[in-house]
Amino acid sequence: VAAEQNIAATLAEAPLDAVRRAFTFEATERRVLAALKDRVLADGEMIDLDWVERVIGERRTGHWIGGPGRSDPEAQALGRSYDAIQAAVQLFKLHAEHRGRFAFDSGPELLDAYRKGLFQFDRVYRDFQTAAAAIRGQGWNLLKDLGDAVERLYDQGFLQPLGVEWSRLLDEGFLDVWTDEACPAQSKFYAQVIGPMLARSDRKRAFVIISDAFRYEAAVELTEKINRQDRREAEVSPMLGVVPSYTSLGMAALLPHETLGFDDRGEVLADGRSTAGLAGRNRQLESVGGMACQASELIQMKVDEA
């Protein structure tokens, strides 16, 4: 019927308010998306986030996105399009809230601001890009101009001003001090986190999962997901990384140790011993009755062995 009646052409110029509550044809969904995207671009930071979320909530109840049996790629792409628009609006609102407020008196003050709210910039940008990637997989250009606006705002409205301020604080002395009372040093991880945990536990056992370059904002989201499950409890807290920040030094800093150093070849040493590879980490962990293994090995183990 939609093809016979050329519904898409009929809706091509329809205003959002005229089609907002129409659900019969899939072409309506595309028109709502296009009109909503245009409204977001036109109003920018002035758009009402609650209103956008209400419109998107209404659309998600319709057949073409959330109805029974609608798990095909087309339905998924429509749903992800709404996800992308919602994330873009959240980014615009964050920018409006923080514009001109990227000035801090100290490194710890900037870190505290990031931990308490600025991380949301990174999170909603990631949400937008994840949704947009799913849409591109369908060969759609529906949100290309919105994507350009998001990229521009994230770079010029967040990364650049925050990066300039961070560099200034480093140059003016924070790099020389490199301490923050609210952010314990990464090199104190075992002494301040794992050691006390083992001391409190009758089982004397703790599992540490290391994911290289796991972003703080992603850790916040993971914490929220864990806490939504029954009988699960998680919390997130940051630590101040080692400088220079690279994998082999960061991995060594997480191990139990008294001293960290380098040999003549630049290999990282903990208490004078090499920490290179799984064998090196195992040697260091033996001092506290621990061991290291790859995730792929752990998955293959029987429960008692693990």
Q: What is the pLDDT of residue 269?
A: 96
Residue length, the chain? 306
Q: What is the pLDDT of residue 69?
A: 59
Measured between alpha carbons, how far is residue 180 from residues 59, 101, 184, 192, 259 in Å?
Answer: 46, 21, 7, 15, 20
Q: What is the pLDDT of residue 141?
A: 81
* Ranges of residues in the chain whose predicted pLDDT is under 70: 66-70
Radius of gyration of the chain (CA): 25
- Helix, strand, coil content of the chain in percent (nearest 5): 60, 5, 35
Q: What is the pLDDT of residue 262?
A: 92
Span 135-194, pLDDT tens digits: 887 777 888 999 999 999 999 999 999 999 999 999 999 999 999 999 999 999 999 999
Beta-ladder partners of 273: 270
Beta-ladder partners of 274: 269
Q: How many CA atoms lie within 13 A of 228 on its CB side?
A: 6
Q: What is the pLDDT of residue 1?
A: 93
Q: CB within 8 A of 120, min separation 6: which ones?
A: 90, 94, 217
Q: CB within 8 A of 232, min separation 6: which ones?
A: 226
Q: What is the pLDDT of residue 213?
A: 82
The answer to whether 89 touches 40, Cβ cutoff 8 Å, is yes
Query: What are the DSSP calls for 241-259, one per residue?
Result: --SS--HHHHHHHTS--S-
Backbone phi and psi for residue 28, each to the nearest 5 degrees, phi listed first: -65, -40
Dmax of the chain from CA atoms? 78
Give kind and range of the element (H or E) at residue 27. Answer: helix 26-43
